[in-house]
């Protein structure tokens, strides 16, 4: 009987350290608003902490975190809060304002408008297609990870993304 | 605009977010996340495996005391126990922090009656009945045993012998909370979560001469009454009609004396 190996899961701090950047980035892209993203960021980690003991030690943390973040974004959108705004048009003062401003000026006017337009189109997509698209293009998740995050099969994740893409192209 | 590749465009949304921007936002909001988390934090528990004469033990300790002390059977069971621990604590693997528990158990089995010095943290004893049973059990001293029935009566369930058995089976901190000191009211040793042989080993180290074949406490034990604080031989005429729910069995008269009891004047056990 050798039981030298204990399977104590990663501490929550470690998980936060590993994933806080990508989660913040994802929330910024999805919400398009810094204050919203900050709220969602906090809420995501609080929920994740509460649910962490119930996450099976073998399951993947990344899609699980994105599932929480995605559901929170959906709830916020459903609760009719705010309409998505584009980050580049956000002139709010903040620590990082200068950096974004500089980029903004160098942005082609048309491109800025196109981004707003695309964001509007995305927010009009059916929920599942929108989520799958955001997880694919904003978070860079693979279809299998999207499947875990959305609780569906990898095939239907792929289908959702491609249907979303087709619709966007039609509406464009 | 039509000509623009929409896939590229979607991919580029938020691309102007350079690393420093995300970093600055994180820097700004990390503090408030930590503050909010602090309010719902579970306490930390050091977890490790220690060796003891009773085999490997999976041990967890919190700042309040020993949370978990479990005989290790197989890895699946260990995973299930850690999963249960995680609902109440944030486990951190720390062999050094739990080593002392193994040392104490070793010294205890070698006969050092005061070896078990650490406090017990009964957070994992979920139900209130279980808490009550374990709490009452802690009052049973070394060198004495109590019956399931009597322990049930002490915990407010005079007919709850089996319920006591279940509560003890899930005892998160065996040895420290002495569930090995609970036996059938007819004198048989009864079962043990870690296996009857471990129970025997523990009882022997506490002074009971238990026969391997009979699996009963010996007839030489004395019966101590919790109310009158008098102890008798097993065949004293007073024991025939005594309320067994109030009896503790002591390995020898000396142990009863140490528990603050006096010998019966009829059977003169001392």
**What is the rounded distance in angstroms from the CA atom of residue B97 to the CA atom of residue B82?**
17
Residue A38 Cα, gap to closest chain B Cα (Å):
7
Phi and psi at residue B44, in whole multiples of 5°?
-80, 150
pLDDT the model gives residue A49: 96
- Catalytic annotation present for B267: no
Write down the pLDDT at residue B175: 94
Give the minimum alpha-carbon distance from B105 to chain A in angstroms, rounded to a whole number: 18
The reported pLDDT for the residue numbered B213 is 80
| Predicted local distance difference test score (pLDDT) of residue B193 | 86
Q: What does the pLDDT average to over B103-120?
A: 92
**Domains of chain A (ranges plus CATH)?**
12-171 (1.20.140.160)
Nearest to B9 among A28, A103, A118 (CB): A118
The pLDDT tens digits for A13-62 are 999 999 999 999 999 888 888 888 899 999 999 999 999 999 988 888 99
Average predicted confidence (pLDDT) for chain B = 89
Predicted local confidence at residue A19, as pLDDT: 94
Interchain proximity B6–A165, CB inside 8 Å: yes
Q: Is B76 on the interface with A (CB under 8 A)?
A: no
**Chain A residues whose beta carbon lies within 8 Å of the beta carbon of residue B24:** 94-96, 99
CA distances from B150 to A19, B102, B174, B244 (A): 55, 31, 19, 7
Distances (CA, A) of B193 to A14, B100, B154, B199, B249: 35, 23, 22, 9, 21
Query: Which pLDDT band holds residue B4 (cuts at 50, 70, 90)?
Result: low
Q: Residue A57's pLDDT is what?
A: 82
Residue B244 near residue B183, CB atoms below 8 Å: no
**B243 lies within 8 A of chain A by CB:** no
Query: At residue B5, does pLDDT exceed 80?
Result: no
For residue B104, the Cα-to-chain-centroid distance in whole angstroms is 15
Which residues 134-163 in chain A show a CB within 8 A of chain B?
A: 137-138
pLDDT at B256 (0 to 100): 92
Q: What is the pTM of this model?
A: 0.79
Per-residue pLDDT, B216: 87
Percent share of chain B, pLDDT over 90? 61
Point out the catalytic residue in the list B179, B232, B236, B267.
Answer: B179
Contact list, A20 vs chain B (CB under 8 Å)? 26, 30
Shortest Cα–Cα distance, A158 to chain B (Å): 15
Test B90 with A88 for CB contact under 8 angstroms. no
**CATH class name, domain B44-109:** alpha beta
pLDDT tens sequence across A97-155: 433 333 333 334 445 677 777 888 888 899 999 999 999 988 889 999 999 999 999 99
SS3 A123: helix
Residue A95 — pLDDT band, cuts 50, 70, 90? very low
* E strand residue ranges, chain B: 44-50, 57-62, 65-71, 90-93, 144-147, 182-183, 222-225, 230-232, 247-250, 262-263
Using the beta-carbon criterion (under 8 Å), do A12 and B90 form an inter-chain contact?
yes
- Percent of chain B at pLDDT > 70 equals 97
Among A32-41, A110-119, B22-31, B161-170, name the one with the lowest average pLDDT.
A110-119
**Residue A85 pLDDT > 50:** no
Alpha carbon distance B50, B150 (integer Å): 33
The pLDDT score that the predictor gives to residue B46 is: 95
Angle, alpha carbons B218-B221-B226 (nearest 5°):
140
Query: How many other C-beta atoms can be found within 10 angstroms of the C-beta atom of residue A76?
Result: 17
Q: State the DSSP string of B44-109.
A: EEEEEEE--TT--EEEEEETTEEEEEEE---HHHHHHHHHHHHTT-EEEE-HHHHHHHHHHHHHHH
pLDDT, tens digit, 9 for 90 and up, residues B89-108: 999 999 999 999 999 999 99
Say what the pLDDT of residue A2 is: 44
CATH of domain B126-263: 1.10.10.10
Of A25, A49, A118, the CB nearest to B22: A25
Please answer yes or no on whether A42 and B10 come within 8 Å at the CB atom: no
Contacts of A172 in chain B (CB under 8 A): 2, 6
pLDDT above 60 (res A81): no
Domain ranges of chain B: 6-37, 44-109, 126-263
In angstroms, what is the C-alpha Rg of chain A?
Answer: 18
Token pair in block for residue B42: 């579970």
């Amino acid at each position: 009987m050798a039981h030298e190996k204990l399977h104590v899961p990663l501490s929550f701090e470690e998980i936060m350290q590993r994933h806080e950047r990508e989660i913040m980035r994802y929330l910024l892209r999805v919400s398009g608003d810094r204050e919203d993203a900050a709220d969602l960021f906090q809420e995501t980690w609080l929920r994740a902490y509460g649910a962490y003991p119930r996450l099976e030690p073998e399951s993947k943390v990344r899609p699980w975190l994105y599932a929480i973040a995605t559901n929170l974004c959906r709830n916020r959108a459903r609760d009719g809060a705010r309409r998505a705004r584009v980050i580049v048009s956000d002139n709010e003062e903040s620590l990082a304002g200068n950096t974004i401003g500089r980029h903004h000026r160098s942005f082609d006017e048309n491109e800025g408008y196109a981004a707003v337009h695309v964001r509007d189109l995305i927010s009009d997509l059916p929920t599942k297609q929108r989520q799958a698209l955001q997880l694919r293009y904003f978070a860079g998740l693979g279809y299998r990870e999207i499947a875990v995050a959305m609780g569906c099969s990898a095939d239907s994740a792929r289908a959702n993304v491609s249907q979303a893409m087709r619709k966007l192209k039609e509406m464009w | 605009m039509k000509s623009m590749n929409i896939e590229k465009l979607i991919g580029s949304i938020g691309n102007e977010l350079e690393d420093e921007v995300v970093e600055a936002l994180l820097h700004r909001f990390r503090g408030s996340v930590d503050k909010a988390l602090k309010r719902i934090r579970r306490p930390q528990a050091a977890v490790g495996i220690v060796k003891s004469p009773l085999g490997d033990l999976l041990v967890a300790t919190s700042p309040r005391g020993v949370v978990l002390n479990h005989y290790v059977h197989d890895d699946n069971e260990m995973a299930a126990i850690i999963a249960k621990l995680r609902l109440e604590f944030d486990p951190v693997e720390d062999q050094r922090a739990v080593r002392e528990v193994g040392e104490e158990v070793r010294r205890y089995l070698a006969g050092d009656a005061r070896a078990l010095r650490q406090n017990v943290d009964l957070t994992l004893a979920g139900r209130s009945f279980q808490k009550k049973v374990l709490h009452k059990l802690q009052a049973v001293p070394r060198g004495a045993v109590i019956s399931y029935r009597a322990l049930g009566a002490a915990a407010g369930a005079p007919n709850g012998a089996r319920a006591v058995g279940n509560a003890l089976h899930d005892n998160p901190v065996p040895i420290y909370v002495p569930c090995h000191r609970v036996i059938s009211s007819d004198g048989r040793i009864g079962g043990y979560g870690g296996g009857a042989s471990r129970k025997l080993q523990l009882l022997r180290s506490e002074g009971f001469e238990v026969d391997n074949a009979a699996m009963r406490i010996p007839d030489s034990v004395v019966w101590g009454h919790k109310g009158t604080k008098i102890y008798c031989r097993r065949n004293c005429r007073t024991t025939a009609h005594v309320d067994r729910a109030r009896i503790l069995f002591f390995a020898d008269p000396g142990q009863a004396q140490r528990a603050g009891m006096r010998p019966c004047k009829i059977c003169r056990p001392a």
